[in-house]
Amino acid sequence: MTRKSPFDPLKDAAKYVRAFRNKPFVVKIGGDILADGALRRSICGQLALLSSFGIPLVVVHGGGPAVDRVCQHLGLGTQKIAGRRVTTPEVLEAAKMVLKGGVQMELIAELQAAGLLAVGLSGQDAGLLRAGRRPPVVMDGQNVDFGCVGDIEFAEPRVLHVLIDGGYVPVVAPFTVDGTQQILNTNADSVAAAIAAALKVEKLFFVLKEGGLLADPENPHSLLPFVDVAKVTELEASGTIQTGMRPKIAAALSALGAGVTSVHFVSGILSDSILAEVFTNEGSGTMLVAQRPSEPSS
């Protein structure tokens, strides 16, 4: 009987380090995770370790809960439909103040404390993300005007290449501009997917409170470790994918359709979940691919 070597986990990790070195990852961190200082610190530590193994990073951040708090303080109404924010001109001003101010600055400070050279951007910088203002649409049976919200039309990632090549970690706030340079609020999941597609990354991560994609939203133990687009379509049809996950799934499918190899949903609460997802065979969350590998013929 062959005994398992205590160095097997290290060998497995080394295998993944070799596979992913110099291949950028895009990591989108949800605002509810960033609001907790301890969780933010833990995630930044994990990202620093990825970087130390030669994996370039682009970080995209949300900040919805912080925007909600400021809007409430200012007496501004907040409305979300299918997980997406309705953005009046007043809410847009609050979002600019919160996301490019407090949320991004705190995240950059934590990344730099972990040893990373982080640089704050938005989709406005160097023409990174061009968008068109979203027209009124029918969603869930009602006419909706999302206001100052942009749907991404294309990404120009040159500034990201320059920063990555210089050893920096771009940290992107979820704003875009239209052809007149009007700033538009844009879903951070969509921003992460567009950047991942433009960079042709190996992996796109969504760091969230949940441990991953669940077969039963009411059962936290029903984690699906590996799914393909066909399975996600089935889950959507059954109503399993609910409001908060809908924009993330839409963004993930968009990224896969544009050539991103895999999308990962991982917990920002469980310790070292990103590292486990990257460097272990078992992973920690849900890995989504376009199509399951074909079974070898017998």
Q: 258 Cβ partners below 8 Å, 6+ apart?
A: 193, 196, 197
Would you state the pLDDT for residue 79?
84
Which pLDDT tens digit goes with each residue over 195-224?
999 999 999 999 999 889 999 888 888 999
Structural tokens at position 12: 């497995």
Instruction: Say whether 143 sits in a helix, a strand or coil.
Output: strand
Residues paired with 256 in a beta bridge: none
Would you state the pLDDT for residue 245?
86
Structural tokens at position 249: 């799934």
272 by Cβ neighbours in 10 Å (0-12 / 13-18 / 19+) ranks as middle
- Asked whether the predicted pLDDT for residue 297 surpasses 50, the reply is no
Contact status, residue 275 vs residue 267, Cβ threshold 8 Å: no
Would you state the pLDDT for residue 5?
55
Would you state the pLDDT for residue 294?
61
Confidence of residue 112 (pLDDT cuts 50, 70, 90): very high
Superfamily of structural domain 22-228+238-289: Acetylglutamate kinase-like (3.40.1160.10)
Confidence of residue 93 (pLDDT cuts 50, 70, 90): very high
Would you state the pLDDT for residue 298?
37
Confidence of residue 19 (pLDDT cuts 50, 70, 90): confident
Give the residue ranges of DSSP H helices in the chain: 8-20, 31-34, 37-52, 64-74, 89-97, 104-113, 158-165, 188-199, 229-238, 246-257, 273-279
Which pLDDT tens digit goes with each residue over 61-76?
999 999 999 999 999 9
What is the pTM for the complete model shown? 0.92
Q: What is the distance between the alpha carbons of residues 156 and 61, in angstroms, rounded to a whole number?
A: 19
